Amino acid sequence: MFIDINVHPDFYADINLDKTKETLRHNRLNIHHNGLASLNHISNQMNCASIDRMVLMANDCSSTDKTVLVSNEEIKKLIDLGEKKFLGFASVDPNSDNYLQQLEFAFSNLKLSGLVLYPARQYFFPNEEKVADIYQLCIAYNKPIMFQCGLNWEPNALSKYVHPLHFEEVAIKYPTLKLCISGFGWPWVRETAMLLLKYPNIYSDTSVLYFDSAREFYSQIFTKDIPYTWIDRSLRHQVMFGSNNPRFEQIRMAKALSNLGYRDSTVELIKGQNALDFLGISNTGEKSVC
């Protein structure tokens, strides 16, 4: 099973019935000229990239956006429409009211599979005490957290909040909490590799493509900035395929992953098994017991 762990459905037609909201999403994400995507088109894209499942991210930075960009309910709607193609991660803003109740509702009622946090846009450091209750709730529900890390192209996003070293205390304090530093925390990829090496509860994904083609950039990051042996030998169980689509296109990223020179078994882990482990799902689709 090939899973894209990091997809943003902001421009899926089924949740863009309001033109004002669509325009807001273009402006907030700083993604333009891309149009809306029908679920049929999404399915065609997945087929071209040989992707079986995608994990869709909600987006709640309401303390600064003044509105929820993609709600947990919209993610649930897409999951229901997606004929088992989609899983979903909830989003809550730690600076808003009732975030804990919203998260509990997303886990218990909407049955979402994890939580996504955007520290660069929600303006908090991951090791701050004020988010401890969020981590504890995720542990209670056995849900992983996707931290959107590294360079964030969105307006007013601040990179200082997502330096990988901020996650070390979290990994130590909450060893049963599975967390993902997205995009290998680019440009701090060696710092991220250091954390993955020491802490088995930290994962990362491949959702980064800020220079060159996917083939060239993946080769630079995953075979040179991080020697290919580091992932292929030591980190192979903690790296997942993620695209950050629609910022980046999946088809060429998926192909680039297969051409890095890793062992076939490593590529298979990155494509699917590691995401299943992160999500706490066995290969048969059952929720695993941790």
Question: What is the rounded CA–CA span in Å between residue 185 and residue 172?
Answer: 18
Question: What is the rounded CA–CA span in Å between residue 32 and residue 264?
Answer: 36
Binding map of another protein across residues 127-156, x = CB under 8 A, - = no contact: --------------------------x---
Q: Please, which residue, 41 or 263, has the CB nearer to another protein?
A: 41
Site membership for another protein, residue 85 (CB under 8 A): no
Site membership for another protein, residue 45 (CB under 8 A): yes
| Total site size for another protein, rule CB under 8 A | 29
Q: Please, which residue, 73 or 249, has the CB nearer to another protein?
A: 249
**DSSP state, residue 277:** H
Task: Provide the minimum distance between the beta carbon of 215 and another protein in the complex, in angstroms, as a whole number.
Answer: 6
Task: Provide the minimum distance between the beta carbon of 51 and another protein in the complex, in angstroms, as a whole number.
Answer: 13
Residues 68, 75: contact at Cβ < 8 Å?
no
| Cα-only R_g, the chain | 17
CA distances from 149 to 157, 167, 173 (A): 11, 11, 20
The candidate with the shortest Cα–Cα distance to 126, out of 154, 146, 105, is: 146
Site membership for another protein, residue 212 (CB under 8 A): yes
Q: Which of 17, 19, 32, 290 binds another protein (CB under 8 A)?
A: 32
Question: What is the rounded CA–CA span in Å between residue 72 and residue 262?
Answer: 36
Q: Which of 87, 138, 209, 276 binds another protein (CB under 8 A)?
A: 209
Dig out the tokens for 264 from the structure. 């076939």
The residues binding another protein (CB under 8 A) are 29-35, 38, 40-41, 44-45, 47-48, 153, 209-216, 246-249, 251-252
